[in-house]
A and B are shown apart, each in its own frame.
Chain A
């Protein structure tokens, strides 16, 4: 006869081995080493999108007398170039792909490894985003310098580089937090669709938040999406506002916590009720 201990929640968050996180990150780098054309395709796509959008915005700014909401033609090119780099670096269908893992039950495989699920997924996604971000920065700086001209404050650009990294960290964490909703909501496609549109508009990817009506601007600046695109764009456009980096750091903590808790609670629910 076996004694029956009381069931307790699986300790999802208790096993994070740094070497495993490094390995998860490095494994994605190896994928690029095997298939470097993926980075070439990404760079070409990024350049096309950036060229079209920044060209349109430069014409629009010029048509309104040379500045729009504090952005001159040079600043708007750097803004769009930077926001596109921040968003396109992250896997486009992350929510859909990872959500499908949960809905289909394939995530069970991850439970058969001695490691917490969320940190490994986070590290793997950052491994995928990192090289894309570096390519985007190289292509983007070249494009903005040639097409938009130089930004007067070089310090702002350095801060924008830091903000780009934070933007990707927040974006990936936020997307994984949305993925965790798949433990309860099984419609991952609509989750992804909604998230994408919010980032496009309220995140400031397609336009600086300053051009939005006052109320929409207030709402947008209170949401985490601004940390994913607007902040690095604003800094790259020459506005040295250190408080924006603080906001990014705050949203990073919030999103990582939300994703970690979401996975922990969702997995615990799955092993009990699935």
Chain B
């Protein structure tokens, strides 16, 4: 190899291609990188499969399920029918005769919207603040770190209660953001410390030497290394928003305009479902819905590491 003498005539720096890439090729490459390879990795991991199945099931119920089912009204069925008594009301009815299954299905959509908006808010704000603070030195870093510290020290629950009462938000998306308003500090802090070490990697310095714009370095060289952690955080923040919303509805702090699982829990509790066996199914099904979704998210987040690991990716191409 040492005497690989290169002909000075065809200097590789001057080479140009005579083929043009068609848009079909581009689409195929993108499809391969973002759908096929992740898909192949997922299939090998049962946790990913179960997690993906559960989350996809909830998404299906929350979008198409709502469209397939008629909304329930009072006295749709008899009062307090037990679960699995009739096929008309498979999960039973509440004391006002409303169909529990329909209530659960209609409750899915606002909960999913809340979780998604809240999780997205935390991840976007936390990632931007954390990476920019970690990558820039000096004043900007100090400023962003101070804001993060302040956000971390504000007690979350009282803030959410105060904001919920003053703003009185109706849209589930707004409620999600409100619940997540204080959750980005930890993520930003952790990402900042990771960026501090990635910043010193040789390939980041090489990119600097090539005059690559800072935003490209952040996107291509810094972020991919933290993607498993960010995705994991996205999943766990969504779980956090889910628990917070259900809890706060149950406490009656959040204003409710639509039925959802938290509202249902609150009604069941005040209706005495915890002390009366015949009403137990009323409080059981919202709990089952929350727990199953939470498990699905945990399983999915555990498998995200593999999606971004180049060693695993290389094996599935």
> Is this pair of chains taken from one and the same complex?
no
- Partner-A contacts on B (CB < 8 A): none
